[in-house]
Structure 1
């Protein structure tokens, strides 16, 4: 156990040396590549302004999303009314969609339990 701790410490020291040596250059390169996204002047006030713009822009998108939701629901109601005319391809797509929803639900449950399958943490 002690030898594994020493190995881990050595690897951590090696990684920190690598970051100390190349981290600054990587940071400069990253900023240079993405300078079109940087707002000038970089102040707290500018960050607050951008935060508010993002919030209210997302808030303004709700009516469009609401309308799209009701259109989709009307389409599903129409398909349900005419389910006798439903093609195999449409039924397959619906089944795959339902399976995907179930898989995301299961994944969310696993994440919510702290990545344990049975619910018991070790």
Structure 2
């Protein structure tokens, strides 16, 4: 156990050295590449305005997303009605999608329990 702790500490020190050496350069490069997205001057009022624009833009997109959802659901209902005509590939894709949803559910449960598999804290 102590060897793993020592290894973790050395890896952490390596990462810290890396970020102290290259982090500032990466930060400046990222800001330079995304300069068109930066509002000048960065005031509280401007941040609040952008926040409101994002919120109300998302709210305005709800009706179109709602309609798209019902179209997708109608398509799935139609597929279920004509399931005898489905190809094996389509059923395989549906099975993989279901398996992926289940895997994300399980991963979320594990994260919610604090990254424990059994649910008990060790």
TM-score (norm 2): 0.80
- Tell me whether 1:34 sits opposite 2:45 in the alignment: no
Distance 2:67 2:94 in 1: 22
Distance 1:79 1:108 in 2: 30
Q: Computing the radius of gyration over CA atoms, which structure comes out larger, 1 or 2?
A: 1
Q: 1:27 to 1:88 in 2, by over 3 A?
A: closer
The corresponding residue for 1:15 is: 16
Distance 1:23 1:86 in 2: 52
The corresponding residue for 1:70 is: 70
Shift of 1:32: 1.9
Question: How does 1:76-115 map onto structure 2 within 5 Å?
Answer: 76-115=76-115
Aligned Cα root-mean-square deviation (Å): 2.7
Distance 1:32 1:46 in 2: 20
Q: 1:22 to 1:92 in 2, by over 3 A?
A: closer
Count of residues in Structure 1 that have an aligned counterpart in Structure 2: 117
Shift of 1:96: 0.7
TM-score (norm 1): 0.80
Shift of 1:89: 1.0
Q: SS in structure 1 opposite 2:39?
A: coil
Question: Which structure 1 residue ranges, 4+ long, deviate > 4 Å from structure 2?
Answer: 21-26
